Every structure is written in C-alpha cells, then in structure tokens.
C-alpha cells in the first residue's frame, strides 16, 4: 500500500515538473562553431546551463564525450527556496539548471556551447522552452571562470550575427550565485524513465540530434550522476 501511494505521488510530481507536451519534438539549429576557442587549464572544470526542463539538458550532456557528471538543480535564487515545489511557482528567481563537469582536454567549453544551442535550447525564447513556460525555464549561460565568461560573451555575439536564428537572441549570461542539486527523483530522469511520454516526445529527440549532428562528441553510454 505504501509503495503504491509513493508511486502515485512520484508520478504526480513528474507530471507537474516538466509539462506534458501538446505536440512532439523541438527545432534543432545549425549553431556555428565558436570563433573564440576556449583555452582552459588542465583538470576537470564545471559550468552551469539554464535551458528549460532540466531533464533534457541533463540527458544531452550525459551523452557528450568528456563530460564526467551532469547534475540537475536550481540556480539563481536562495537556498531556502531551492525546492521543486517553490521553484515551479516561477517566483523564486531560480532557473531549472544543470551543473556539468567536464574534461577540457576532451571537450572544450565552446563546444559545449555549440551543442547547447544546437540541440538543447532555443535562444530566441524568453522564459520558456518547448511546452514549459515560466522564468524557471529560461535559457542562460552561467560561466564559472573568466575564460568561460569571455567565450560565452563572444559566442552570443557570434550567434546574433550568424543569421541562423530568425528571431533576436534573448538568451544571456547570468552571474554564478549558487547551485542547489534537485531532488533525487529528478537526477538521471531520462535514463531511469526512457518510456516517459515527456522524455520520448521532447528529450530523446535531442539526444538523437546530438548523435547525428555531433558524432565526434557523442557517446552512447549515459553518464549518470
């Protein structure tokens, strides 16, 4: 009985988290390779990406070579409000975000940006991505060091001038505040729930697009955690 109740409760949370799609699929973009290449020192680095529902952001980066960890969470507000129930109101200042740890010897920060804006987030949408609407679903880059900030700023300018996107680029750069990991049931969600209607409609196509558009960066194995 307790197991059944828990299952129903988690299902209800999952349905509320990233809204069920009215239609399937998202547009992918042929984002340009960065003109300003990242030159980061050896050793693992981290970066935070706000990109709509964090399940899909995590799923894509978990399939990128050189990424050792992708953790869903909340960025941009206070620790006191960093819970799904509060963030989902859209009034806490947080965005659903993913903290990516990567080896710059295998994948550069500028390459992560190209992947992000090709198959993860539409940079022309303000406070929404796919079927999810609200400031918690905004698309933004959150650099963690001076090199990332310089590369991110240059890349956004390059995107604006590229002509790839027919609408103005509204995605921006946010200063890093603090990252708060999301509840355990949000972690590795696409890996644990591949048959979820939301995952199949919105996030699995992003991973497929990654494998097709970036075969040199794609890895079939899902990096958990």
Asked if 53 is an active-site residue, the reply is yes
Q: What gap in Å lies between CA 217 and CA 33, rounded to an integer?
A: 13
Active-site entry in 14, 38, 53, 190: 53
Q: 218: which DSSP letter?
A: B
Distances, alpha carbon 181 to alpha carbons 54, 55, 98, 201, in Å: 11, 13, 9, 25
165 near 123, Cβ under 8 Å?
yes
Half-sphere exposure of 155 (CA within 13 A, CB side): 30
Structural element, H or E, at residue 153:
helix 146-162
Distance of CA 7 to the CA centre of its chain: 26
Q: What gap in Å lies between CA 151 and CA 145, rounded to an integer?
A: 10
20 near 131, Cβ under 8 Å?
yes
Indicate which residues carry an active-site annotation. 53
């Amino acid at each position: 009985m307790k197991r059944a109740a828990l299952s129903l409760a988690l299902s209800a949370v999952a349905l509320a988290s990233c809204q069920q799609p009215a239609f399937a699929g998202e547009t992918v973009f042929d984002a340009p390779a960065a003109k300003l290449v990242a030159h980061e020192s050896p050793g693992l680095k981290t970066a935070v990406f706000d990109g709509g529902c964090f399940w899909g952001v995590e799923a894509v980066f978990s399939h990128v070579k050189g990424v050792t960890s992708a953790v869903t969470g909340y960025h941009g507000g206070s620790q006191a409000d960093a819970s799904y129930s509060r963030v989902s109101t859209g009034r806490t200042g947080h965005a659903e975000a993913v903290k990516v740890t990567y080896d710059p010897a295998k994948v550069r920060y500028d390459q992560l940006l190209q992947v992000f804006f090709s198959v993860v987030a539409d940079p022309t949408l303000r406070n929404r991505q796919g079927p999810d609407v609200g400031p918690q679903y905004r698309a933004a880059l959150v650099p963690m060091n001076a090199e990332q900030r310089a590369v991110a700023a240059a890349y956004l300018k390059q995107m604006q001038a590229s002509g790839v996107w027919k609408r103005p680029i509204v995605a921006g750069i946010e200063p890093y505040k603090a990252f708060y990991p999301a509840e355990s049931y949000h972690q590795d969600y696409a890996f644990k729930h591949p048959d979820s209607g939301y995952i199949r409609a919105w996030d699995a196509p992003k991973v497929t697009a990654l494998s097709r558009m970036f075969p040199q960066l794609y890895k079939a194995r899902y990096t958990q955690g």
